[in-house]
Amino acid sequence: MRVEIWSDIACPWCYVGKARFEKALQAFPHREQVEVVHRSFELDPGRAEGDIQPVITMLTRKYGMSAAQAQAGEENLGAQAAAEGLAYRTEGRDHGNTFDMHRLLHLAKEQGKQDALIQIFYRANFAEERSVFAEGEERLVELAVAAGLDADDARKVLADPDAYADEVRADEREAAQLGATGVPFFVLDRKFGVSGAQPAEVFEQALTQAWGERSPLTLIDQGDADACGPDGCAVPQH
């Protein structure tokens, strides 16, 4: 069974939702047969690469809330993250364009290191003092290396604005086609969708239902056709 997760590194609920989903997956009896794929979604795709601002400032301008309301929201998110065992800085974080991080995640996907990299990006953005936006490309290279990627490979991707750009945009178009207007958005076997950072119990129910409703193989049998098997291949008699 395949689970696809559309998310953005700048999305705190994606950070929390990933932890809740993984808690459910850990308890799922068939977890070894579940493939998890991370898909790209930008919450702020129109933001210029160098446009970096404090999270509180971004929230007040984008949603029209007061600074006090924005800070209260951050405190609530911090409590939600802590309940899942996640570190979360409620003050001093910044916000910027995540396109390059998504491109690196596609590189990591090719090497089987996508989950490791997205978790490192989340932790760096939400829990560490150093910015993933303000320190430039070398900060992203450093994080990519921490996930097991080659530094030169990461630098080549970041130096070429077209590298994996089509893959990121394709993910975003597909999200729109599936009806995702926000993230996190979980799709199980292309049959069931779960929107938002739901409690682990909801993910457990979704995994169980999706597993139970997998379509069995329909065999089209036109008689005894020649085939190869563990004991060898059928030998034509005529």
d(CA 21, CA 11): 15
For residue 234, name the pLDDT band (cuts at 50, 70, 90). Answer: low
Residue type, 9: I
Percent of residues, the chain, with pLDDT higher than 70: 90
Which segments of 8-69 are extended strands (E)?
A: 35-40, 53-54
The secondary structure element, H or E, covering residue 203 is: helix 200-212
| Range 141-170 burial, b when 16+ CB lie within 10 A, else e | bbbbeebebeeebbeebbeeeebbbebbee
| Range 192-230 burial, b when 16+ CB lie within 10 A, else e | eebbebbebebbbebbeebbeeeeeeeeeeeeeeeeeee
**CB-CB contact of 129 with 90 (8 Å):** no
For residue 48, name the pLDDT band (cuts at 50, 70, 90). Answer: very high
Tens-digit pLDDT profile for residues 68-120: 999 999 999 999 999 999 999 999 999 999 999 999 999 999 999 999 999 99
Measuring CA to CA, how many Å separate 107 from each of 104, 147, 158, 186, 200? Answer: 5, 12, 11, 21, 29
Q: pTM, whole model, 2 decimals?
A: 0.89
For residue 34, name the pLDDT band (cuts at 50, 70, 90). Answer: very high
d(CA 6, CA 93): 23
C-alpha 161, offset from chain centre: 21
d(CA 114, CA 112): 6
